[in-house]
Amino acid sequence: MSLFAPLTIRDITFRNRIAVSPMCQYSSEDGFANDWHLVHLGSRAVGGGALVIAEATAIAPEGRISPQDLGLWKDAHIPALARITHFIHEQGAIAGIQLAHAGRKASTVRPWEGDYSLSAAEGGWSPILAPSPIAFDEESQVPHELTREEIGDLIVEFANATARAEEAGFKVLEIHAAHGYLLSEFLSPLTNHRMDEYGGSFENRTRLLREVVVAVRKVWAERYPLFVRLSATDWVEGGWTPEDSVALARLLKDLGVDLIDCSSGGVVPNAKITVAPGYQVPFAETIKRETDILTGAVGFISEAGQADEIIRSGQADMVLLARKLLKDPYWPLHAAHELGIDWPWPNQYERAKSKIRTTAK
């Protein structure tokens, strides 16, 4: 297998192994997609990626990271997203969406405007929600500890957003259980200090994610793939570990999850992470090897040869790129050329491809 080999999961065939990772754009009003999202996502479909995943999309208003996050908590959000999925599919890519709840990291300012929690007067909201009343840092709100009834409501909200995602035309759904957002907070013993059936043991801390997966899989079409993004480690002693991720991946596979999108960190602000090219790829390799579930690799993957080797060596089944595709939406087309693969360009851009061939000679 190589970077440009097709991949079939359930009834969906991806034209290659390159996915556009969900990247928050902080550009919505009341959760609605707009022309920015159409161009942002559409240009990366034109650029040759196989799977284009829309950013972390809130299942409830209080589940947004910022007031400008994308949302799917009401039916009125569907038409604008349907316009985007239609365009992505016209380009030969597959449209995916990541459903999320920000938990205790909600109600914050957009990153280019600072790094602080928003008050109600500034457009934020209170309370924010979490498994336990532990603030992310000294500058953040102390969250409200979710009751069992409220946990049940969250599961329903994930299922309802899933139905809307399918109606909007998405063919891949990813549940965001990473980076210290709500589902990730339930997984980690650093953020989950509950004493009921949703806290304490590994079984209890993974219960909510498992219940969300079951609820989502009941609604999500059997023919469509379901992904889960995990933080494979908290990078902090006493936190969630790679061994925990392997054990959880086994459970999720049995519940109908098709691929684990393997990221890490984000749960607590004091984690010490050594960042280097491909530094998170070993998590994808380990989970894939130990559980035989499909995995996606992320983390400073920027070179064509590097991405190709990840697939050829069997470390992962997909690579998900973010920063590289922000810099160059057409990276897949350029990567194919670099790897000596005659990959089709959009007809409208074919003259540019011919120019590259001539220059190369």
Q: Tell me the catalytic residues.
A: 181
**Do 129 and 64 contact (CB within 8 A), yes or no?**
no
274 vs 137: CA distance, rounded Å: 21
Tell me the two tokens of residue 119: 């008050």
SS3 42: helix
Percent helix / strand / coil, the chain, rounded to 5: 40, 15, 45
Tell me the two tokens of residue 301: 């993957």
8 vs 225: CA distance, rounded Å: 10
Nearest to 357 by CA among 333, 329, 332, 328: 333
User: Computed from CA positions of residues 88, 173, 326, 335, in that sequence, does the dihedral angle turn out positive or negative?
Assistant: negative
**Do 34 and 69 contact (CB within 8 A), yes or no?**
no
118 vs 124: CA distance, rounded Å: 5
361 vs 344: CA distance, rounded Å: 19
**Do 57 and 356 contact (CB within 8 A), yes or no?**
no
177, β-bridge pairs: 230
Strand pairing category for 294-297 and 51-58: unpaired
Going from the C-alpha of 127 to that of each of 63, 106, 131, 133, 212, the distances in angstroms are 11, 10, 13, 11, 22
Strand pairing category for 129-130 and 259-263: unpaired
Tell me the two tokens of residue 224: 């469509």
**Do 315 and 297 contact (CB within 8 A), yes or no?**
yes
